[in-house]
Amino acid sequence: MSDVLLRVRDLRVHFFTDEGIVKAVDGVDLDIERGKTLCLVGESGCGKSVACRSFLNIVQPPGRIVSGEMLFYGGADREPVDLAKLDAKGRQIRQIRGKEISMIFQEPMTSLSPMYTVGNQIMENILLHTGTSKEDAREKAIDLLGQVGIPKPDRLIDEYPFRLSGGMRQRAMIAMALSCHPNLLVADEPTTALDVTTQAQILDLMLELQHNYGMALLFITHDLGVVAEIADDVAVMYLGKIVERATARVIFNEPQHPYTRSLLRSIPKIAMKREELDPIKGMVPSPFRRPEGCTFHPRCPNVMDVCRHVVPSVTQLDDTHTVQCLLYEPEPVEQARS
Amino acid sequence: MWKYIARRFSTMLFTLFVISLISFAVIQLPPGDYVTSLIARMASQGAGNISQEFQAEMRSLYGLNEPVYMQYLKWMRNILVNGRFGYSFVYQRDAINLIVERLPMSFALAFSSLLFVWAVALPIGIYSAVHQYSTVDYLFSFIGFIGVAVPNFLLALIFLYVSYRVFGRAMVGLFSQDFADAPWSWARVVDLLKHLWIPVIIIGTGGTAGLIRTMRANLLDELNKPYVETARAKGLSENRLLLKYPVRHAMNPFVSTIGWTLPGVVSGEAIVSMVLNLPTAGPVLLGALQAQDMYVAAGFVLLLSTLTVIGTFISDLMLAWVDPRIRLQ
Amino acid sequence: MSVTESLDIDGPVLDTQVQEEEKFEVASQWQLMWWKFTKHKLAMISLVIVVIFYVVALFCEFFAPTTTTQYRAEYVNAPPQPLRLFLDGQWNPFVYGYLSERDPVSFKRTWTIDEATVIPVGFFVRGTPYRLWGLIPMDRHLVGAKEADQPFYLMGADKNGRDVFSRIIYSSRISLTVGLIGVFLSLTLGILLGGISGLMGGVLDNIIQRIIEVLMSIPHLPLWMALAAVVPLQWSAVRVYFMITLILSLISWTGMARVVRSRFLSLREEDFVMAAKLDGCRRWRLILRHMLPSFLSHIIASVTLAIPGMILGETALSFLGLGLRPPVVSWGVMLQDTQRVAVVALYPWLMWPAAAVVLVVLALYFLGDGLRDAADPYQA
């Protein structure tokens, strides 16, 4: 048995809106291993952001974790805590947030408050979770800012975020997230809003820090290039479900799910000669009108009749590789259900 | 920062200049010059004749024989240098005396009303935003609408009627009879405070309603901002988080609303004072306007507006003080 | 031909949900607004109330049981006669008559409702003759005592024995149109100056912005009072009316100008405006065809929200005796009678005009609020 840090089983997060229920996360299974990097990949609107927020139990109304369990083996005794069962406003989950599990967001421009200095916002986290004095917290914050590659950290600590560039802010965010040595860092598209050079720098920094701190990294992205660079394991998400899960090597070399294949095919390659791009046909369906059966069937190149009304279940291909597609389900199961 | 203050300050000076022009226009607009109408008025009241010397003195003091811009300059000079706002023929004394008597109470009342508006609107606005679409939110929205729709002089009338019905006498004025003309003392202040809350509530209701809506809307905007999520992900408790981040952010536009709340409160103070017959600027201004006692009226318009504009300027400074984005411009 | 064919083929396949969505997609901006507006119940009710008020104002001579000048000395300060609809279980609207007594000491008249006298009430009855819009001579009234010489005071009588209810109805014409005309004036000023400000920018924008700031930072009421006070006493009622309206709109155009300016500024950045520009669209066509329609709905909402301010302003000025003056009747003029607390205490029904003010202002606010929500394309 591998060293699992967070085990998610059948997680469902639904949004109860006036127009109807949006099943943003609809039965997700995930394992995040200690010290490893898991990339969660999918198109916009597939529920990956909601999923990662639910790991911290900070999904806001009208959204709600409806069912499932999220076992977190973070404490010193490695006794599992079910994050889904904790009161979202309670003390227990708040001691995990920012200390055991930290999060970095997509928008470095707006994720830091312009009203307080960078130092204030980093120190807040340290003071909240450790019993150190203000002076020590400040020392620590300066040290962290140095670690994330901010020049003259002792001066920048008193700067307001709106005076920093996007890349600098994201570095400050990382410093804040790391301030209590979390076991798990959740990063929700942390490089999407940055320009390409900065993106590469931030990625390198995150990998380096992950190595130094020995923490697990859950990296949410829609950029398969990034995935190839950093991932140990990959989970592909489509309309609230994990459709395929495997090691990065397997995902890139032997993808099984038609959606994963389409995703990989749609990336332009430098080696490619002036061919047309091969996008996935169709659009992501409206969240209020999910297709019946396999939700991918209207866009699937390998669609079968049975896909239109039978919901696929998870098929274990080998120890580390699962796929949720009727193509791989053994015949009897299919007949039993249809 | 200094650039911002300098810009605000120059705007204020310009506004004050325009206000002085408008106030001066108030003196100029009625037909006939001031001394002529003064004589006519005095004669009709049987107050005897005014000596030729006095007439000549008045004419030269206000430059009535000179072009309009000279009259304006003389008028301003008298105010700025000598603190003389002109002569009131109704009260038969210098307008400045009336102003000194009445204006401080006006501003005490306006300032108390502003404090009341803030103290009430802030917590209710926060509560309504955090509990959006709750029963309490709807209730306050509805009360807010009524507060906006019922003008404060009507509120004062209704209050008069009710107090007459319930207590058998109209609750007017700011002091009990014993203290009305008494010199200032601790007991008189207490007496004032006992009476002050009524006009304060009446004046403040309209502004409170508006400000609750502003605070609620501001806060609703802020509640969904990413930095709130960042703070939540840190493990801050909901209440601490709410006060430190979104409320703090929503305060900025809120502070800048003093700029438009203050003119409303001053207007409200004027009219409510007339209805409730409070010893403030309002009734004197009304009386002066009705009697065409224009130097007094112009003096009050000028000073009420000036103090409002200065108040707005101070609120701009406060805004710079609370918002680093402005401070560090 | 092929288009219709393909439509025919597709037709039956579409389920209702899809049709619904298609309807949504092809609907014009106004249809969308209307659908959104109708969901707002309070705003719909307010719309009905506002329409009723304006219709009554339009035909006030007909809706009022009598005229504003009709007075009867014997019913000075008579209390309201409540309208009863059923007599002995039969549909037979009526009011009770009065019994009056004169206090032998103070000579003050006191009234009691006399349940013995029944005054039958009819609809479309003949009554005081009047001229509709000052032109068409008529004598029919919507409601009134069947016999014209019987007292009929639904909301009591004032100090001259005039019918408060009729005067409130007549007042609506003045009070409501002050709002309309005033808003029209400030709208013209606001669109003109706000448009110049937003489109031209630069020095002109700066000047206009400063003027707006100045006007907004002055307490309105003292200024209004001062300006209204210098309106000459000998001016005719009509001139005073327009002067007061002008004074009121002198300040309120600023809000409108701000809305227009900020709309133009934000629209300038919009892609569709840029696209039209790149397509070689001429400046005026761009403004009239592409920019103006996209915020017309906002303008309408702001206008609706500006009217109540005007109505309240007129009421306040007239109440203080600085606005409109008798014989003109407006709600503010009527409320002048209530300035003395003794009057309010003895004859509370003289406060009825206040109820009319509050009701119409409230309705206009709700209506404007609903319109504003409906006009916002980015809000579900």
Furthest-apart CA atoms within chain C: distance in Å:
97
CB within 8 Å of chain B, chain A residues 225-284: none
Q: Within an 8 Å CB–CB cutoff, is residue A102 touching chain B?
A: yes
With a cut of 60, say whether residue C377 has pLDDT above it. Answer: no
CB within 8 Å of chain B, chain C residues 319-378: 319-322, 335, 338-339, 341, 344-345, 348, 351, 354, 357-358, 361-362, 365-366
Q: Within an 8 Å CB–CB cutoff, is residue C236 touching chain A?
A: no
- Check CB contact under 8 Å for B170 and C226: no
Report cis status (omega within 30 of 0) of the bond before A114: no
Between CA B24 and CA C93 the distance in angstroms is: 59
- Check CB contact under 8 Å for A97 and B235: yes
Q: Residues C74-84: what's their mean pLDDT?
A: 75
Q: What is the pLDDT of residue A1?
A: 44
Q: What is the pLDDT of residue C4?
A: 37
- Check CB contact under 8 Å for C222 and B165: no
Chain C residues whose CB is inside 8 A of the B170 CB are 341, 345
Between CA C95 and CA C151 the distance in angstroms is: 9
Domain count, chain B: 1
Burial class (CB in 10 A: 0-12, 13-18, 19+), B54: middle
Q: Domain spans of chain A?
A: 4-238, 241-269+277-337
Report yes or no on B62 lying in a domain. no
Which tokens is C70 given?
């009709």
pLDDT, tens digit, for every residue of C226-258?
Answer: 778 777 777 777 788 888 888 888 877 887 888
Q: Within an 8 Å CB–CB cutoff, is residue C72 touching chain B?
A: no
- Check CB contact under 8 Å for C210 and B11: yes
Distance from CA of C231 to the nearest CA of B (A): 8
Q: Within an 8 Å CB–CB cutoff, is residue C246 touching chain B?
A: no
DSSP 8-state symbol, A280: P
| C-alpha dist (Å) from residue B7 to A186, B14, B316, C1, C209 | 46, 11, 11, 67, 13
Domains and CATH numbers, chain C: 68-161 (no CATH), 168-374 (1.10.3720.10)
Strand order in A81-82's β-sheet? A20-33, A4-17, A63-72, A81-82
Chain A residues whose CB is inside 8 A of the C380 CB are 18-19
Q: Within an 8 Å CB–CB cutoff, is residue B232 touching chain A?
A: yes
A-C contacts at Cβ under 8 angstroms: 3
pLDDT, tens digit, for every residue of A275-294?
Answer: 666 777 777 777 777 788 88
Between CA A304 and CA A281 the distance in angstroms is: 16
pLDDT band at A335 (very low <50, low <70, confident <90, very high): very low
Report yes or no on B160 lying in a domain. yes
- Using the CB atoms, write b or e for C128-167: b if 16+ within 10 Å: bebeeeeeeeeeebebbbbeeeebbbbbbbbeebbbbbbb
Chain C residues whose CB is inside 8 A of the A289 CB are 17
How many other β-carbons are positioned within 10 Å of the β-carbon of residue B49?
Answer: 10
- Check CB contact under 8 Å for B235 and A95: yes
Q: Which of B20, B90, B267, B286 to mutate to test the interface with C (most CBs of C within 10 A)?
A: B267
With a cut of 80, say whether residue A271 has pLDDT above it. Answer: no
Mean pLDDT is highest, among A231-240, A310-319, B303-312, for: A231-240
CB within 8 Å of chain A, chain C residues 11-50: 17
Task: Kindly list the partner chains of chain C, i.e. chains with 3 or more CB atom pairs below 8 Å.
Answer: A, B
Between CA A268 and CA C102 the distance in angstroms is: 102
Report yes or no on B92 lying in a domain. no
Phi, psi angle pair for A114, to nearest 5° = -75, -5
Between CA A29 and CA A123 the distance in angstroms is: 35
Between CA B281 and CA B273 the distance in angstroms is: 8
**Segments forming the whole domain that contains residue B171:** 103-280
Regarding the domain delimited by A4-238, which CATH topology (the fold level of the hierarchy) does it fall under?
A: Rossmann fold (3.40.50)
Q: Residues C340-353: what's their mean pLDDT?
A: 79
Q: Nearest-CA residue of chain C relative to A17?
A: C380
Which tokens is A293 given?
């059966």
Which tokens is C187 given?
């709208």
Q: Residues C64-92: what's their mean pLDDT?
A: 75
Distance from CA of B221 to the nearest CA of A (A): 13
Q: What is the pLDDT of residue C380?
A: 40
Q: Nearest-CA residue of chain A relative to C18?
A: A289
Judge contact between B295 and B37, C-beta under 8 A.
Answer: no
What percent of chain C is predicted at pLDDT more than 90? 0
Judge contact between A50 and A25, C-beta under 8 A.
Answer: yes
Distance from CA of A66 to the nearest CA of C (A): 25
Between CA A280 and CA A259 the distance in angstroms is: 8
- Check CB contact under 8 Å for A115 and B232: no
Q: What is the pLDDT of residue C255?
A: 79
Judge contact between B172 and B160, C-beta under 8 A.
Answer: yes
3-state secondary structure of C96: strand
3-state secondary structure of A77: coil
**Looking at the partner chain, which of C213, C232, C348 has a beta carbon nearest the beta carbon of B15?**
C213
Chain A residues whose CB is inside 8 A of the C17 CB are 289
Chain C residues whose CB is inside 8 A of the B271 CB are 221, 316, 320
- Check CB contact under 8 Å for B234 and A98: yes
Complex-level ipTM? 0.84
Q: What is the pLDDT along chain B (329 residues), one digit of tens a residue?
A: 788 888 888 888 888 888 888 888 888 777 666 677 667 666 666 655 667 777 777 777 777 777 888 888 888 888 888 878 877 777 777 888 888 888 888 888 888 888 888 888 888 988 988 888 888 888 888 888 788 778 888 888 888 888 877 776 666 666 776 666 767 777 777 777 777 888 888 888 878 888 888 888 888 888 888 888 888 888 888 888 888 888 888 887 777 777 667 778 888 888 888 888 888 888 888 888 877 777 888 888 888 888 888 888 888 888 888 888 777 76
**Looking at the partner chain, which of A106, A107, A128 has a beta carbon nearest the beta carbon of B234?**
A128
Q: What is the pLDDT of residue C378?
A: 52
What is the torsion angle, in degrees rounded to the nearest 10, for the CA atoms of residue A262, residue A280, residue A285 and residue A254?
0
User: CATH number, domain at B138?
Assistant: 1.10.3720.10
pLDDT, tens digit, for every residue of A91-119?
Answer: 888 888 888 899 998 887 888 888 889 99
